[in-house]
A and B are shown apart, each in its own frame.
Chain A
Amino acid sequence: MRWRPAVIVCLLSALSLVPAASGGGGVSVRDAWIRETPPGMAMMAGYMELRNDTSRPQVLVGASSSGFAKVMIHRTIVKDGMAGMVHASRIELAPNGSLNFAPGGYHLMLMNPKQLLRAGDRAVINLEFRGGLVLPVDFEVRK
């Protein structure tokens, strides 16, 4: 089939993203924080500013953490006057672009924290990018 070489090229370029993204001037995170919740809450939300300082698009495809049963990438959307959350299976970051995970928009949905997290505590969340890059990010719990 004619498109096969194109697919292979894509895969190769995806693999080549790994060193580009993990080195200096790669993908970085600023202001990573988790909102403290009342004790016993099954769900918490994490926010951050995600930057792509590479010259290629980078695609966030998932997240995980040993501190939570499950981490998902969510987006709060408002439709018909109602807010709800949708799962974002992939988020593309444009070359030299940034994306803000902020209240009322994108957030990391942190399910069933394994221990009580209070303001000042920290938790590491691994951001997983297409091509295999995993970026561990240190989040601070804030009130």
Chain B
Amino acid sequence: MYKISFKFSIMVTTLALAAVLAAVWLAKLDREHESRAMLLPDRVMTLFPDPKPVTAFALSDDKNRAFNLASLKGKWSFLFFGFIHCPDVCPTTLAVLARARGNIAKNTVGAENIQFVFISVDPNRDTASKLRQYVDYFDSSFLGVTGDNAQIGNLAGQLGAAYQVAITPGVENYPVYHSTAVFLLDPRARYHAVFTPPHDAEAISKRFKVVRELEAGNAT
């Protein structure tokens, strides 16, 4: 009996000590290396140490202008793949991204060099004008993009964005399955980071700020 409770008290003491040490360490990390601490692999964002350059692709935007590799250069791009008829995931994500863009515009220097792009994987239904109207609802600065299936597949494939359009003859509301991630490409059109759901505007804008700061640090 004595033995057990003695062992138990040692265990409790050890755990308590470990917790205190961890708290101290985390607090220190937070103070001194706030940016690093925020970049530990987590459930919000995965940052790639060696970003992979995106190669040529040819899509078109919601004003029927070309959207290609050049459109990604010189800007940070948030890319999301979806479709207009999507009632749950797409409006939820676009609403979050609109709030994130608002936060970034308020808190980040150089926020004008960002673009948010909604890429429809359902070009059969989602025309340029419908896309314009759709993204406008969430944020007038958002860009709607689509194109032919091979080219959507080209870009999606480079980012590992899975999707499947199950067009069924005679079925108006055919199902579309699509990746829920938000892809971040840097101004050199490299696949820099990916945000995974559940998406949160605060978390996205905060991490994006850190990414920008790190990149600025690397550049100098």
Contacts and interface: CB of A to CB of B under 8 A. Distances in A.
Interface of A: 35, 37-45, 74, 76, 78-85, 103-104, 107, 109-111
Interface of B: 84-85, 87-89, 91-92, 133-134, 136-138, 160, 162-164, 173, 175-181, 197-198
A83 B164 contact: no
Nearest to B178: A82
Given A38-B133, A38-B134, A38-B137, A83 B87 contact: no
Contact of B179 (A42, A81, A85): A81
A35 B92 CA distance: 9
Contact of B89 (A37, A104, A109): A104
B177 A42 contact: no
A104 to B, nearest CB: 6
A44 B136 CA distance: 18
Interface secondary structure of A, over-half rule: strand
Contacts of B180: 78, 82-83
Nearest to B161: A81
28 contacts: A35-B91, A38-B134, A41-B87, A44-B87, A45-B91, A76-B88, A76-B89, A78-B197, A81-B160, A81-B162, A82-B162, A82-B164, A82-B177, A82-B180, A83-B89, A83-B177, A83-B178, A83-B180, A84-B175, A84-B176, A85-B175, A103-B92, A104-B89, A104-B92, A104-B198, A107-B87, A107-B88, A109-B87
Nearest to B197: A104
Contact of B88 (A42, A80, A103, A111): A103
Nearest to B130: A40
> Which 9 residue pairs spanning A and B have beta carbons closest together?
A38-B137, A84-B177, A82-B177, A43-B87, A103-B92, A45-B87, A81-B162, A83-B180, A82-B162
A41 B84 contact: yes
A82 B87 contact: no
Contacts of B176: 84
B198 A111 contact: no
Nearest to B133: A38
Nearest to B90: A83
A74 B135 CA distance: 24
Nearest to A35: B91
Contacts of B179: 81-83
Contacts of B88: 45, 74, 76, 85, 103-104, 107
B164 to A, nearest CB: 6
A10 B88 CA distance: 36
B163 A82 contact: yes
A113 to B, nearest CB: 11
Contacts of A76: 88-89
Contact of B87 (A37, A78, A81): A37
A41 B131 CA distance: 12
B135 to A, nearest CB: 9
